[in-house]
Chains A and B, each alone.
Chain A
Amino acid sequence: MTRVRINGVEEEVAVMTVAELLVARGVDPAARFLAIAVNGIVVRRSEWPSRPLSPGDDVEIVRPFSGG
């Protein structure tokens, strides 16, 4: 298990990569308009399957929302 922070919440996860994290959380990695950053750096979509998660990583998973 790896302890990471996902959208501001600390969690133990049993996954190895960013793409696996999405699947484990019920998010389709093929869904359009998603963006992810790890430790303040954007991880491009093409890198999701290979980007490993390390203990203490701070993951932001975002999408467009209504706004002014």
Chain B
Amino acid sequence: MTDPLLIAGTSLLSRIFVGTAGYPSQQMLLDCLEASGAEIVTVSIRRISLEGYAESLVDLLGGRYRLLPNTAGCATVRDAVLTAELAREALNTEWLKLELIGDRETLYPDVEQLVRAAEELVRSGFTVLPYCNEDPVTCQKLADVGCAAVMPLGSLIGSGMGIANPAAIELICSRSPVPVVLDAGIGTASDAALAMELGCDAVLVNTAIAKSHDPLRMAGAMRAGVEGGRLARLAGRIPKRRFAEPSSPQLGLVGT
């Protein structure tokens, strides 16, 4: 059974996006991407070192993945838009993970600037996937200005705290006119499964894999978690009850 995810007219078979930062080695990064089954992987855009220029990470990825450049670390609309334009030029892609950070300590998005930057970038032809607060109103505003998906945070970037507000994520998923990709906070495979069960269309994972004791095994676990969660979502969970409901037949009990 195929269950493609459609974002901006592009059909994806994998529902896990994987970040490329912080792995123990480049070979481990490549192995983890392979094990995760990801089709979309994120990269940042940074100034080159003028002391010693080395070939790009992109050469290493070898054209096997769809690269999603981010604007990580940008704190103003101006810097985010310029970084986006540089990313488009460097990678020849219109796709962009838009990050506009309002607070260095928590890396919470600056919602007001985020919506403005998203609107400007959509007008410039970008396919914008914004990292945003887990707030249905913000997500709606981002969809309204033409974002191709929304990427609400589960909890703080790199925190591994999982999905701090599952009810909000579920609400966003139930209302969003565009795909919802849970971004940030995933700590282990059950967090990824929960995101999918709540109705997310995909998840983005980086630190939970890269900083795991065994990244390769965790990459496989995340893949399985996402697939399990997606299947469970499609199947539909049973309602929760306050009391027991026997699963074995109640007739023909021995001794009655």
Residues of A in contact with B (beta carbons under 8 Å apart): 6-8, 25-28, 31-37, 40, 42, 44-45, 60-68
Contact = CB atoms under 8 A, between A and B. Distances in A.
B56 A35 contact: no
A8 B52 CA distance: 17
Contacts of B83: 62
Contact of B44 (A33, A35, A60, A64): A64
A27 B46 CA distance: 15
B55 A31 contact: yes
Interface in B85-139: 85-91
A43 to B, nearest CB: 9
Nearest to A43: B89
B85 A42 contact: yes
A-B interface, 5 closest residue pairs, ranked by CB to CB distance from nearest:
A67-B44, A68-B19, A68-B206, A35-B90, A35-B89
User: Interface size bucket, B side?
Assistant: 35 or more
Contacts of A34: 48, 90
B59 A32 contact: yes
Given A44-B89, A63-B46, A67-B19, A32 B82 contact: no
B67 interface: yes
Contacts of A66: 19-23, 29, 43-44, 57
Given A66-B43, A67-B43, A60 B82 contact: yes
B42 interface: yes
B58 A64 contact: yes
B50 interface: yes
Nearest to A7: B47
B66 to A, nearest CB: 13
B53 A27 contact: yes
A33 B53 contact: no
B47 A62 contact: yes
B157 interface: yes
A48 to B, nearest CB: 11
21 contacts: A7-B48, A7-B50, A28-B53, A31-B56, A33-B58, A35-B89, A37-B82, A40-B78, A42-B82, A42-B86, A42-B88, A42-B89, A61-B47, A62-B47, A62-B83, A63-B56, A64-B57, A65-B45, A66-B44, A67-B20, A68-B22
Contacts of B78: 40
Given A8-B47, A66-B57, 17 more contacts: A25-B50, A27-B48, A31-B55, A35-B87, A40-B78, A42-B82, A44-B89, A61-B48, A61-B50, A63-B90, A64-B90, A65-B44, A65-B45, A66-B20, A66-B23, A66-B44, A67-B44
B155 interface: no
